[in-house]
Amino acid sequence: MRKGEKITTNIDWPLFSVFMILMLLGLATVYSTAYNPEAPNLFDFTQKYGKQFVWLVVSLFLGLLVLLIDADIYRKFATPIYLFTVVLLVVVLFMPAKFGARAWLGIGTLGIQPAEFAKIGTALLLAKYISSVNIKLQNLQTVMIANLIILAPMILILLQPDAGTFVVYTSFLFVMYREGLTYDPLVLKVVNLIPGIKFKQTWVGSHFIPILFAVVFLVVATLLVSNNTITFDSLPGVKIPGVVGVILTLATMSIAVLIILRYIGSKRDRKNALFIIVIGFSLCASISLSVSTLFQGMAPHQKDRIELLLGLREDIDGDDYNRNRAMAAVGSGRFLGKGYNKASVSSVESNHVPESETDFIFCPFAEEWGFLGSFILVCLYMFMLFRIIMIAERQKSRFIRIYAYSVAMILFYHFAVNIGMDIGFAPVIGIPLPFFSYGGSSMMSFSMFMFILLKLDSQRSYILQ
């Protein structure tokens, strides 16, 4: 902190206020969900709500320390912070498994999840690196280093295994896209290896979002038909795997486009179109085959989750029990809810919704406060996200802007996927609702994320790089 400067100087109070409201609402919901009539005291540290209160206080204390440190320290020490969190991710792989994964570092009931804190290190180093390069002159090395910063913790997290946190790390790709760091140099390098082809630029970067949606659509289409076979009434002995049907459909569409261009395009257009369509078809076919192969090789419980999400089969009281009970709890709240501490379907005591105080914390809140309360909660999160984006856009420092967008994207992923799990729109991958779910690691890491952003923004006039 600079001389003569108060700790509260230039703090963004609207963001801090909504952050505190969400933390207190989360504590109240954990208390209601895990309520034990034999130990009703909030400060009973043997109960989950007592522990959550301790973690809330610790998080605020860590936030105070963050605000006391000069903001420029986070840019200067981004690399050591990142390396420290990566080392923790390596160390945790040698710890005893807990809840089916080697994700916890600690002794007994006391422990932390390094993967939660590694997000902070990754966000800081990615912001430092991208802000130090000239995006207009980006090359293959720039793209590879930026991706390596993201991939190193992702691979270590996948080895734990923690699929939920692994997915969250893909949010950094959108941050890179926002700053103009694209995969064009990589694509250009690969394409120009083909004899007779010499491109000076590609359009992958400028069409990142449409390409992403196209890939998602292709993956979903492949999963929907992966277990199916196509038969013909006139050819009873002929059976074609579903994935082959997807590839044949892609081939038919490609040929149709080429035929159309044959009559309406110039010679140069036809040559370029032929090249793009052949490459595009090859990539799509490769993606479809890879997805189908990976899907068939998944562990049974992973495969079951995808099939249940896509509606390929039903198992209400079996593999789809968690998601089904979560939707029942949310729906039972109706418009105004049942009232505080009156949740019946999603309480810990009833145990109808497993992990109702952690991954499914939205269920008891929705049951108690109904659609109206849920709508207000979603509005609070949306206000927080828009406020962070507004803070990002007012920065002169690229470092702060990139870090702010990293915070926004990670919070959005957690918010969207967690609530999506509870209402049946997302697979159950076990990620917490920020500032709400029971758990020390998530509470402390999200709080530090937020306080670092508040500190960086408060000293934005000093940090110009």
Residue 47's pLDDT is 86
Give the dihedral sign, CA 342/346/351/356: negative
Q: The tokens 């760091």 sit on which residue?
A: 181
Is 75 within 8 Å of 128 (Cβ atoms)?
A: yes
* DSSP secondary structure letters along 342-379: --SSS-TTT-SSTTTTTTTTHHHHHHHHHHHHHHHHHH
Q: Which of 80, 74, 84, 114 is nearest to 452 (CA)?
A: 74
Residue 17's pLDDT is 94
Question: Rounded to whole angstroms, how far apart are CA atoms 400 and 464?
Answer: 9
Q: Which of 433, 425, 421 is nearest to 361 (CA)?
A: 433
pTM of the model: 0.84
**H/E element, 105:** strand 105-107
Residue 235's pLDDT is 47
Question: Rounded to whole angstroms, how far apart are CA atoms 369 and 371?
Answer: 7
b/e burial code for range 390-424 (CB count within 10 A of at least 16 → b) = ebbeebebbbbbbbbbbbbbbbbbbbebbbbbbbb
**pLDDT tens per residue, the chain (465 residues)?**
555 566 667 888 999 999 999 999 999 999 988 888 887 888 888 888 889 999 999 999 999 999 888 888 898 999 999 999 999 999 888 887 776 677 777 655 567 888 889 999 999 999 999 988 777 657 778 888 888 999 999 999 888 878 788 889 989 988 988 887 777 676 666 666 665 556 666 666 666 677 777 777 777 777 776 666 555 454 455 455 656 667 777 777 777 766 666 665 555 555 666 666 777 777 777 777 777 777 776 667 667 777 766 666 666 666 666 777 888 888 888 888 888 888 777 776 666 777 778 888 898 899 999 999 999 999 999 999 999 999 999 888 899 999 999 999 999 999 999 998 888 777 777 788 999 998 888 899 999 999 999 999 888 766 656
> What is residue 241's three-state secondary structure?
strand
End-to-end CA distance of the chain: 18
What is the Cα gyration radius of the chain? 25
Is 76 within 8 Å of 128 (Cβ atoms)?
A: no
